[in-house]
Amino acid sequence: MANFFPRWSNLLPLQIAVCLGTAVGGIALAFAYYATPKAQVVGYQPAQPIPFSHKIHVDQLGLDCRYCHSFAEVSGHSNVPSGNTCWNCHQHVQRDSPKLAPLHKSMDVNYPGYDGKPIEWVRVHKAPDYVYFNHSAHLARGISCQSCHGDVNKMEVVYQAESHSMGWCLDCHNAPEKHLRPLEEVYNFKYDAEKYLAANPTYQDGKRLKTQEEFGLLIKDMFHVHPKTSCSTCHH
Amino acid sequence: MSKRILHHPEVPAGETTVAWRSQGQLEDTAEFRSWLDREFPRGAAEMANEEEMETSRRSFLKLMGASTALAGFGMAACRRPESYIVPYTKAPEWVIPGNATYYASSMPRAGGATPLVVTSFEGRPTKLTVNNLHPDAEGTDAFAQASILDLYSPSRSRTILKGAKSAKRGDLDAAIAAVAADPAAKVGFLFGADDSPTRARLVTQLASKFSAAKFYQYEALTGEAAAALGDGVKLVADFALADRILSLDSDFAGSDSAGPITPFFDRRKPEGKAYDAKPDASKMNRLYAIEAGFSLTGGMADHRLRIPTSQIVGIAAQIARMITGDVALTAAGEVVTDPKHLSWIQGVVDDLKAHAGRSVVLAGSRQPAAIHHLALAINLALGNIGEGKPLVALQTETTGLGSLATLKTDIDAGTIDTLFLLGPANPVYDAPADLKFGESLAKLKASFHLGTRTDATAHAATWHIPAAHYLESWSDTRSARGIYTVVQPMILPLYPNCVSELELLLALLSEDGKLLNGEGEKGEASPAYTAVRATFTALGGEGDTAWKTLLRDGFLKDTAYPTATVSVAASAWSDVGAAKREAPTANTLEVIFATDASVYDGRWIDNGWLQEAPDPISKLTWDNAALIAPKTAKELGIYDQIIALQPVENVLGVEMETGPRSPDGEADGRKSPMILVKVNGQELEIPVLISFGQAENTIVIPLGYGQGFNAEDELGRGEFNASHVSLVGVNSGFNAYPLRTSQSPYFASGATATPTGKRYSVALTQEHNAMYGRALAREVSTAHDDEKGSFAEQIGNVKKQGNDSHAPPNVSLYKQENREGKSLLSDPLHQWAMSIDLSSCTGCNSCLVACQAENNIPIVGKKQVAMGREMHWIRMDRYFATQKDNDFDSDNPVLVPQPVSCVQCESAPCETVCPVNATVHTEDGLNAMAYNRCIGTRYCANNCPYKARRFNFFDYNKRNPLIEHNLYKGPFGEKQVGDAPHLQRNPNVTVRMRGVMEKCTYCVQRLKGAVIRQKRGQKQEALVAGKPSTEFRVTESTLRIPVDSVKVACQDACSAGAISFGNLLDGEKSTMYRTKQLERNYDLLNYIGTRPRTSYLARVKNPNPAMPDAKFIGKATIHMV
């Protein structure tokens, strides 16, 4: 009886196994690297209808976050400013900039293309529908905007700086001391714990505090900050 | 999947209570046992519709494999979808995106408005709660809670109809302008029975503008109280002052409003409203009820006498005779001869006499004049009416209005040729049949119907105008005692053609007759606003301050109806004599046309929440049925048919069904036999249900169903009025209105009933999620009992009932503390818990519907309910119980309602079995459900001894469950129709999808909201202290929410104050904590060791020891198998 299978085919199962293994492993690694929230959403930087620059408004002009995001302290949602907030200034300042055409369209009754419809900003940070993140709860307890949104004051165009994945949330809920600040410094994007401690000598048990973590632990203790990690903290 | 078997102890020897949920259980059928044993009934958890009967595990895996492979192709093209944030252009004042705003408003109704606080998110109302500032605040009932769904109903009328065909707005405007321009117009107005000061003012203006105008009032379900009390006079009870209450068929705790009801329930609690006194029986009230079939009030009664409705007049006359001693009455009423009834009556009479001036006799609002005469005579004789007395006679503003019968005469005589139908009733459908109102309506030159539904009257009228919902219109109204209450719009009408009643009247009064509705042309307010403000100015004074106070509080202080004087009418005793009827017998049955707990008179038929809420007594959903007493059913020979269930046999330890399984999990046993009822020359074929505690030889048929049918109808009744109802109301129930005559609209004598051999499927929930257990519900009596001892001893023994005293202490194997002795996993600030007082719970469904509104719970449709898949987080258990030795009336069981939702066990059996940790405990004592983690194994539900978990078998929220077979089509099924229902959803609660388990969360969104609000105060306190935040000491009081400051949705809705909720760490200051310290507090299934956070307070009955049935009262201990 003739040999159906040539000799080289003896190695075939092994070859197939190796190839398949490599392929599966590769897919798994690629998935882990490219498909996790960290890989997918960090750096997401969509174009906005008006190329609003936080760098100009915050860094150069020194606007407080709450001038525009006025309800972040009192509501779960941090609102995007309504048209009239922009128009307060821009009916006087940079009025003729072509970049502001959508604002004119929505607010300026004398503008030829006026339709009174709101500006549609593209959402950058999106929590899934089953996640209830509350801005006011964090701001009121000494977590800065910066901790989650990055150095927005330096962004020409806003992008997502952190992964906002569940693991990332839990990192901070387990160790909030890395981020806690005095309530007065929550909106200060130039805050640096070490500089703050140098300027405001702070002691615990007679020992002068020097680092963010030492200071964070003190604040955690003083504010009774015990972030919860049970499911219903965020999912309900 | 069969249920995990928990080992329940033996029922203690000497237990005298016989308790049951359903006829099936009473007869111990295999079907009921299977409901008890299984998590879901046979077939409910399997794919069992026609198409999928063939699906095997193998083909399922094939399909899953294919879909997984295909998913890869789909995923490859998956990109982050771009979504947008769209802020306001001009931010409206007070609106904070993400935060709710609360406005005071009210729901106008016939018995007096329900004052409300409306929760609104970004301008869209989502939830109604009671306005507790209002002096007439009395919680909210299921109708008030469900009324918000009507605002967003996809079937809501939105187009103008002329001759039942869509018409143009311009034509309607012209028609109205033509009426307005003719001061001699022979115009009539038909109103509902709600009271509106602005409308009353406009009526006088209309009367002077249109010299021939006539005004009428009509509600389908009213009695003849006015004949006894006078035009527009009503008796309102102050239950805080009523020590003894006799209800002559008055369902004052349910559908017959007789005054704010909360004080009644406060006096059902022996420790007082705040649970802070020693239990004192003398502070409790005592309720006697005389009725035919169980009502919610009858279920609460300490002593209940069941009597055919026609015979109540005889009993009432006997009581009146014994109390008033009126000789004339002796001649009029028949004399009671039954010795049992006589001894019962004697007990009541003695008790009422002993409490003269502190008692109340209430006549059912639907009763004929005779009962109202008698009740009035008794109350006057006892001195119960007047200042500082429990009853007060008030003169309302709805006077001088003709009845529907006069309206018909006026139309036929030509006194009227144009009619405006403005009330909520639907006279073409619900008027007494012999009136033939539809024929008269057709004689009119023009008729204008204003309504939110395109019902029969909308189709019969010349014009139908879509009505604005009360949450969309400016108006005013009066509460039970006449307190001026505002109706504020929360939102502009969702559809541009929706008109409110006042806007329509104002158009007729305006010079050019122009109909202005919603927002005016230049964005100014509706003309109704100006009119309401003008009415208010006359009452509350000029100026913005008073007006703004009204808008903030919702009512105007110190406004009430003036008191009226009442006396027994001259015609009283002849009315009583005329009301005498022969007692019904097996051959001449009595039909009672009952008010339905789900659809009222039929106006709520298109409301899915109400349709799916099980009837509090019969536990029937989506239909009505003829209710008959077990004995009557046996006489008719259908008792056995009702429980003839699919035979189940035990073969070698496995339960096997003999015979083929029917599709959709619909066994024959879930089909009721039908009877043909003949009365008043009309006949109706209707399914029968057994109703325990009902008088023999009576048939109770709830009204309001059978308004329209389409081709899908189970009985093939043919297309009939299908356009009158929506998908919710179509093919629902049987219309009993044609049997009703104007002579006797409440009941009819001389009926016959014959079984027809047909069957009709009924979605009954009474056996669903039935629990095993000992002493589930417990009762004690204030009266001394030879075996059980005094009241104090009985209360002391509550905790020992059901073998609880023998249960060994529960020792947890888990570590409770860390090395430093600090408690693990616990929140030192908040530990939530709840208690439910069975003493004041009537089982009215208000909490169930409120929960549905708060927590985005979907409806599932009749077929799914029949399979036990209803999603209600609160299961309103209703037990019947009787004493073995009851020789007074063994067929008159007591009714024990018990709401059960997740009890948030500290040692929760569900948590240990979840393979993916989707249900875990939180630091503050909740048993949390992470929907996004749940993979739908249902192990948790299987392990839950309380059967409190609900599983989404389908995407009920997304796919419309009411379209036939729609759910089974998966992604190809039709989505929920219409554009509005999603607007009602609470944004703080996840909308669950298919394959996810859910259950009561203690309204965790409200708890989180309250805690976060409290934490925000830290910064405020630091600012006030003038210190930098790092120097300010945060204490417990900074972070712990104030005592009793957060309310869960069911607690908020409850008129009876039966639910207490709070933080265990608040200690004695918390009402909930105090209830937990009471002796009558007990845990459900304590002996299993689950340590539930929700506990129950045993029901306290306050029987009169002198009554012949006293020794059988207050002894019901509910053991389930």
pLDDT digits (tens, 9 = 90+) for B293-321: 999 999 999 999 999 998 898 888 888 88
**What's the token pair of residue B560?**
């009430």
Token couple for A101: 């055409």
Tokens of A88: 């307060």
Instruction: Give me the pLDDT at residue B657, please.
Output: 43
pLDDT of residue B5: 65
B811-835 tens-digit pLDDT = 666 666 777 777 665 788 899 999 9
How far does the CA of residue B385 sit from the closest CA of chain A (Å)?
Answer: 52
Which amino acid belongs to residue B946? Answer: Y
Q: Which residues of A touch B927 (CB under 8 A)?
A: none
Contacts of B92 in chain A (CB under 8 A): none
Which of A232, A233, A234, A235 is best to mutate for the B interface (most B CBs within 10 A)? Answer: A232
Which residue from B98, B989, B1039 is facing A76, i.e. has the nearest CB?
B98
Q: pLDDT of B212-237, one tens digit each?
A: 899 999 998 888 888 888 888 999 99
* pLDDT value of residue B355: 92
CA angle in degrees (0–180, nearest 5) for B424-B426-B430? 130
Closest chain B CA to residue A224? B1034
For a pLDDT cut of 70, what percent of chain B falls above it? Answer: 90
pLDDT at B147: 93
Inter-chain CB proximity B1029 and A44 less than 8 Å: no
Q: Which residue type is seen at B897? A: P
3-class SS letters over B305-321: EECCHHHHHHHHHHHHH
Q: Which H helix or E strand runs over B17?
A: strand B17-20
Return the residue in A50, A163, A231 with the most chain B beta carbons within 10 A, the one to mutate for interface testing.
Answer: A231
pLDDT, average across residues B782-801 = 85
* Mean pLDDT, all residues of chain B: 85
Q: How far is B1085 from chain A (nearest CA, A)?
A: 26
Mean pLDDT, residues B196-212: 91
Give the closest-approach CA distance of A14 to chain B in angstroms. 26
Contact at 8 Å (CB) between B565 and B392?
no
Nearest CA in chain A to B1020: A140
Q: Which of B:1008-1067 have CB within 8 Å of A?
A: 1008, 1012, 1015-1016, 1018-1019, 1022, 1028-1030, 1033-1034, 1039
Cβ-defined contact of A182 to B1030 (cutoff 8 Å) = yes
Query: Are the Cβ atoms of B1015 and A182 closer than 8 angstroms?
Result: no
**Confidence label for B961 from pLDDT (cuts 50, 70 and 90):** confident
DSSP E strands: which ranges in B985-1092? 997-998, 1059-1063, 1081-1082
A73, A83, A182 member nearest B90 (Cβ):
A83
User: Using CB atoms, which residue from A116, A119, A136 is nearest to B1012?
Assistant: A136
Q: What is the pTM of this model?
A: 0.89
B713 has a pLDDT exceeding 90: no
User: Quick one: which H or E segment has residue A214?
Assistant: helix A212-223
Q: Compare CB distances from B932 to A46, A226, A235 and report the shortest one's residue.
A: A235
pLDDT for position B1073: 93
Cβ-nearest to A134 among B86, B921, B1012:
B1012
d(CA B578, CA B369): 10
Rounded to a whole number, what is the distance in Å from the CA of B1063 to chain A's nearest CA? 17
Percentage helix, strand, coil for chain B under 3-state DSSP, each rounded to 5 = 30, 20, 50
pLDDT tens readout for residues B241-256: 999 999 999 999 988 8
B80 and A121 within 8 Å at the Cβ level: the answer is no
Closest Cβ opposite residue A118 in set B89, B989, B1004: B89
Q: What is the pLDDT of residue B298?
A: 92
The answer to whether B920 faces chain A, any CB pair under 8 Å, is yes
Band the pLDDT of B663: cuts 50, 70, 90.
very low
Write out the E strands in B614-735.
620-621, 626-628, 648-651, 654-657, 671-679, 682-690, 698-702
Give the confidence band of B654 by pLDDT, cuts at 50, 70, 90. very low
> How far from each other are the two terminal CA atoms of chain B, in whole angstroms?
20
Provide the 10 A C-beta neighbour count for residue B644.
Answer: 16
Out of A232-236, B612-616, B975-979, least confident range: B975-979
* Number of neighbouring beta carbons within 10 Å of residue B711: 10
Instruction: Please list the alpha-helical segments (H only) found in B355-436.
Output: 369-382, 404-413, 427-430
For B615, residues 6+ apart whose C-beta sits below 8 A from its C-beta are: B596, B597, B598, B621, B702
User: Distance between CA atoms of B894 and B878, rounded to whole angstroms?
Assistant: 10
Domains of chain B, start order: 17-42+770-805+831-1003+1048-1112 (3.30.70.20), 149-223+401-540 (3.40.50.740), 233-395 (3.40.228.10), 582-764 (2.40.40.20), 1004-1047 (no CATH)
pLDDT value, residue B119: 93
Contact A140 B1005 (CB under 8 A): no
pLDDT at B137 > cutoff 50: yes
Q: What is the DSSP letter of B828?
A: S
List CB contacts (< 8 A) between A85 and chain B.
91
DSSP state of B674: E
Contact residues, chain B, for A46 at CB < 8 Å: 82
Contact B931 A130 (CB under 8 A): yes
Within B218-283, strands assigned E span: 233-237, 244-248
Q: What is the DSSP letter of A57?
A: I
Specify the residue for token string 């055409």: A101
Which of A79, A116, A128 lies closest to B87 in CB terms? A79
Which candidate, B1121, B908, B912, places its Cα nearest to that of B999? B908
Cβ(B96)–Cβ(A136) below 8 Å: no
For chain B, what is the radius of gyration of the CA atoms?
Answer: 29
The two tokens of residue B858 are: 């979907």
Q: What average pLDDT score do residues B1016-1045 get?
A: 82
* % residues pLDDT > 90 (chain B): 39
For residue B591, what are the β-bridge partners?
A: B699, B748
Structure tokens at B640: 């056995």
- List of chain B residues whose C-beta atoms are within 8 Å of the C-beta of residue A77: 97-98
Contact (CB<8Å) B89/A142? no
**In chain B, which residues have their Cβ closer than 8 Å to the Cβ of A130?**
931-932, 990
- Could you tell me which chain A residue has the CA closest to the CA of B90? A84
Residues of chain B positioned with their CB less than 8 A from the CB of A222: 1030, 1033-1034
Residue B1001, pLDDT score: 93
Between residues B817 and B1067, the one the model is more confident about: B1067
Look at residue B78 and tell me whether its pLDDT is greater than 70.
Answer: no
Residues of B in contact with A136 (CB under 8 A): 1012, 1016
Indicate the SS3 state at residue B376: helix
Asked if B922 lies within 8 A of A232 by C-beta distance, the reply is: yes
Between B257-271, B667-681, B750-764, the lowest mean confidence (pLDDT) is in B667-681
Q: What digits encode the pLDDT tens for the residues B731-761? A: 898 999 999 988 888 999 988 999 888 888 8
Mean pLDDT, rounded, for B585-596 = 91
Quote the pLDDT of residue B452: 92
pLDDT given for residue B451 in this prediction: 92
Nearest to A74 among B80, B96, B1029 (CB): B96
* Distance between CA atoms of residues A11 and A15, nearest Å: 6
Please give the pLDDT value at position B40: 60
Residues A75-90 pLDDT 10s: 999 999 999 999 999 9
- Cβ–Cβ of B87/A118 closer than 8 Å? yes
End-to-end CA distance of chain A: 70
| Contact residues for B161 (Cβ-Cβ < 8 A; gap 6+) | B167, B454, B458, B459, B463, B464
Degrees (nearest 5) of the Cα angle B603, B604, B606? 110
pLDDT, position B667: 45
State which residue of chain B sits closest to A202, comparing Cα positions: B1030
Cβ-defined contact of A80 to B87 (cutoff 8 Å): yes
Q: What is the pLDDT of residue B198?
A: 93
Q: Tokens in use for B1019?
A: 């910064």
How, if at all, do strands B682-690 and B626-628 pair? parallel
The crossing angle, in degrees rounded to 10, of helices B501-509 and B169-180 is 50
Measuring CA to CA, how many Å separate B1036 from each of B233, B827, B833, B922, B1065?
55, 12, 19, 19, 11
CA-to-CA distance for B98 and A77, rounded, in angstroms? 5
The strand pairing partners of B688, in sequence order, are B626
**Residue B644 confidence (pLDDT):** 44
Tell me what the mean pLDDT of segment B1054-1064 comes to: 92
Helix (H, G, I), strand (E, B) or coil at B232: coil
Stretches where chain A sits below pLDDT 50 are none
Across the interface, whether the CB atoms of A82 and B99 are under 8 A apart is answered no
pLDDT reading at B512 higher than 80: yes
Report the alpha-carbon distance of residue B545 to residue B74 in Å, rounded.
62
